[in-house]
Amino acid sequence: MTVRRALVLLWCCSIPAIVWAQPPADMKPVTDRLAASVYTGPSMATLRELSDGFGGRVTGTPAYNHAAEWAAAKFRSYGIQNVRLEPFTIPAGWQRGTASGALLTPLPRPLSVGSLGWSPSTPAGGVQGAVVLISDVSGDALKQTEQLRGKIVFLDSTRIFAEGFAKALPKLDLAWGVFQKAGVLGVIMSDREKNNVLNAHDMLWGARMLPLPAAEVGMEDGKLIQRLLEQGPVTIQFAIENRTSGETQVNNVLAEMRGSERPEEWILIGAHLDSWDFGTGAQDNGTGTVSVLEVARALSSLGKAPRRSVRFALWGGEEEGLLGSYAYTLAHKDELKNCVAVLNSDNGAGHPKGWKVEGRKDLKAAMQPWSDGLLKDIGGGDLSMETTYDTDHGPFMLVGVPALDLYVDFSKYFEIHHKASDTFDKVDVVDFKAGTVIVAVTAYAVAQSDKPIAPHIDHAAVGEILKDAKLNELLEHVGVWKP
Ligand SMILES: [Zn+2]
């Protein structure tokens, strides 16, 4: 154990002794006003405007850009003065067009097909060829590639991802280059849910174009193709038409309420505005987006800002690898030392539970009095130690900022996640508003408390958390973490 690491542990272990000077009960009159404002406020109408009005908001598309302008106007209409669009760049722009496909031999029948995100179009008329099943994408397995020319590769995702995403991703990144060189016509992979339901997703981290046209097929269709391949040759056809562009500017939406006593210190309330596009991104992440807007509206309606500044952020590029929030942590590197905490919402509008503290024992201990004193009574008293890099708290977690992610019942989330069913009608108004209240009350408490909630932790301490969560390999591969 290094001396530095020992000091960090000592510091972390001493945190429970630090309590915020203003007891939770003293804040209750104000947090009750915030809760009432959210419960009686316009969040369902706002969500309907966003999800039904703009539809799926894939990063960098006109729908995303229009939604960003709409969100900026919403902040301004709530009396937030400092509102701006802050750009970052993605390597390629992509907008879904049409996709179709069919099994040709030995059993002619239509396939349930969707384009993978950031797939190029097929040549006009599509691609047609014999299917080759690839279950191993390691370098050795792909040495004999002559048999791939003019074929359609079927990636056996169950086998390829059997060892986990972190192990498979580097091999897959290389495999795309091998397929392209070998003259593969296109790539398909099977989805994982019954009834041929498709989940929108991409394959390469960072909004990069795939080298070859690539489609997903429904699970039952995929299993049928695999069974037929056991008996003999199988040919399929698919056609994809997408709109693509080169480097594309994407805007995060930022707004700020200046603190009344310590404006140089700030907290950040964030959620991603972008979404996939099979549905209209109502819970992934319309509800998170609207909760940020609602917290801004409710705090503004108090008439006096909390002590610290509150920044509101709606990110782009989350679905392609947390790109907008990551870009923000780079662009604002020098002022992150004044960031007291980040509160993120992106787990759907299930029944709320509390907050995820992302593996930080010290943060859990520091939050406990607030969870017990202010949040328990509104259904948000639980604190989860689960650590993920699956949404926009992640880039802040990497630089040691106390980062909390709203913790909700997840059991129904995958019924809608990235699917055509992620629409306004699935949102439970009571759960949604209760979750937003937890964000609003926590935001006020953190921005108003005498002392910062918990200190920043150093690089070594973050590294330990990532290792414990088995996230380090993946994050090193995608280039956001260096040990
Ligand atoms: Zn999301």
CA of 284 to the centre of ligand 1 (A): 4
Within a domain: residue 483?
Answer: no
CA of 287 to the centre of ligand 1 (A): 10
Helices and strands, counts by H and E, the chain: 14, 16
222 within a domain of the structure (yes/no)? yes
CA 34–ligand 1 middle distance (angstroms): 25
338 and 301 in a common domain: yes
Report CA(285)–ligand 1 centroid distance (Å). Answer: 5
> How many Å lie between the centroid of ligand 1 and the Cα of residue 418?
9
Same domain, 157 and 305: no
Verify that 35 and 114 share a domain, yes or no.
Answer: no
Q: Is residue 360 part of a domain?
A: yes
Q: Which of 189, 218, 242 is the last residue of a domain?
A: 242
Tokens 């902040």: give the residue.
Answer: 75
Mention every residue, 6+ apart, whose C-beta is less than 8 A from residue 469: 359, 387, 388
What's the gap in Å between 10 CA and the centre of ligand 1?
35
- Residue keyed to tokens 């995608």: 478
- Report the separation in Å between the CA atom of 8 and the middle of ligand 1, taken as the mean of its atom positions: 32
417 CA → ligand 1 middle, Å = 8
Dist. CA 184–CA 171, nearest whole Å = 17
Residues 221 and 143 in one domain: yes
Q: What distance in Å separates the CA atoms of residue 103 and residue 267, rounded to the nearest whole number? A: 54
Does the bond joining 199 to the residue before it have cis omega, within 30 degrees of 0? Answer: no
Same-domain check for residues 277 and 426:
yes
CA distances (Å), 40 to each of 75, 128, 196, 297, 345, in order?
18, 56, 40, 12, 20
One domain for residues 212 and 227: yes
CATH code of 192's domain:
3.50.30.30
CA of 207 to the centre of ligand 1 (A): 15
Dist. CA 1 → ligand 1 center (Å): 37
**Does a structural domain hold residue 482?**
no
Residue 372's nearest CA partner among 464, 445, 317 is 445
Of 212, 242, 272, the domain-final residue: 242
Which residues are registered as beta bridge partners of 270? 313, 344
Query: What is the Å distance from ligand 1's center to 148 Cα?
Result: 36
CATH code assigned at 289: 3.40.630.10
CA of 286 to the centre of ligand 1 (A): 9
Question: In Å, what is the CA distance from 444 to each residue of 16, 73, 375?
Answer: 21, 23, 12
Task: Report the distance separating Cα 306 and Cα 413, nearest Å.
Answer: 34
- CA–centroid distance, residue 44 to ligand 1 (Å): 19
Q: What is the distance in A from the centroid of ligand 1 to the CA of 348? A: 8
77 and 194 part of one domain:
no
How many CB atoms are located within 10 Å of the residue 169 CB? Answer: 18
Q: Whose CA is closest to 410, among 346, 457, 482?
A: 346
Q: Within this chain, do residues 237 and 286 fall inside the same structural domain, yes or no?
A: no
Number of domains forming the structure of the chain: 2
Question: Ligand 1 centre from 283 Cα, in Å?
Answer: 8
388 CA from centroid of ligand 1 (Å): 13
Task: Please tell me whether residues 290 and 183 are part of one structural domain.
Answer: no
pLDDT, position 154:
98
DSSP state of 202: B
Furthest-apart CA pair in the chain: how many Å? Answer: 74
Look at residues 200, 227, 242 and tell me which one is the last residue of a structural domain.
Answer: 242
**DSSP-assigned letters across all residues of 320-350:** TTSHHHHHHHHHTGGGGGGEEEEEE--S-SS
Domain housing 146: 95-242
The verdict on 115 and 142 lying in the same domain is yes
Query: Which pair of tokens denotes residue 286?
Result: 């319309």
SS3 state of residue 280? coil
pLDDT at res. 14: 42
Q: Which two tokens stand for residue 180?
A: 């392209």
∠ CA 98-100-103 to the nearest 5 degrees?
A: 170
Predicted local confidence at residue 6, as pLDDT: 39
Cα 35 to averaged position of ligand 1 atoms, centre (Å): 24
DSSP state letters, 404-438? EEEEE--TTGGGTTTSTT-SGGG--HHHHHHHHHH
Q: What share of the chain is helix, strand, coil (3-state, %, to 5)?
A: 40, 25, 35
109/11 same-domain check: no
One digit per residue, the tens of pLDDT, for the chain of length 483 reads: 343 443 344 344 444 434 455 678 889 999 999 999 999 999 999 999 999 999 999 999 999 999 999 999 999 999 998 999 999 999 999 999 999 999 999 999 999 999 999 999 999 999 999 999 999 998 888 888 889 999 999 999 999 999 888 889 889 989 999 999 999 999 999 999 999 999 999 999 999 999 999 999 999 999 999 999 999 999 999 999 999 999 999 999 999 999 999 999 999 999 999 999 999 999 999 999 999 999 999 999 999 999 999 999 999 999 999 999 999 999 999 999 999 999 999 999 999 999 999 999 999 999 999 999 999 999 999 999 999 999 999 999 999 999 999 999 999 999 999 999 999 999 999 999 999 999 999 999 999 999 999 999 999 999 999 999 999 999 999 999 999
